[in-house]
């Protein structure tokens, strides 16, 4: 169960944290951000669902071996060019 919602840089919210009770009830005047808060929750839910679907229902990504560059000249592709 969610106990707190933090919304950053979404619509009219720069940064806001809201403690949630049981039940949750959004009350306020028109143009106070009630619908925007619900849309932020729905967007988070959609992102979470897609993230878990891509991983076959797993909640954490599997550890992978570190990729290593091989072959002549390969590592020079990633060196920064120095300014004169």
Bridge partners of 7, per DSSP, are 16
User: Is 69 part of a structural domain of the chain?
Assistant: no
**Count: domains in the chain:** 1
Residue 42 lies in domain: 4-54
Report how far residue 35's alpha carbon sits from residue 12's, in angstroms, rounded to the nearest whole number. Answer: 11
The predicted-structure confidence for 45-83, as pLDDT tens digits, reads as follows: 999 899 888 888 776 666 767 766 565 555 555 555 555
Residue 20 lies inside a defined structural domain of this protein: yes
Structural element, H or E, at residue 10 = strand 4-10
Q: What band does 24 get if pLDDT is binned at 50, 70 and 90?
A: confident
Does 60 map to a domain?
no
Report if residue 12 sits inside a domain. yes
The answer to the question of residue 67 being in a domain is no
């Amino acid at each position: 169960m969610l106990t707190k919602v933090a919304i950053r840089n979404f619509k009219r919210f720069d940064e806001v944290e809201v403690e949630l009770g049981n039940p949750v009830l959004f009350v306020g005047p028109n143009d106070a951000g009630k619908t925007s808060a619900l849309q932020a929750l729905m967007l988070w839910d959609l992102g979470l669902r897609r993230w878990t679907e891509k991983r076959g229902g797993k909640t954490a990504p599997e550890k992978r071996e570190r990729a290593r560059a091989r072959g002549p000249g390969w590592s020079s592709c990633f060196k920064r060019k120095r300014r004169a």
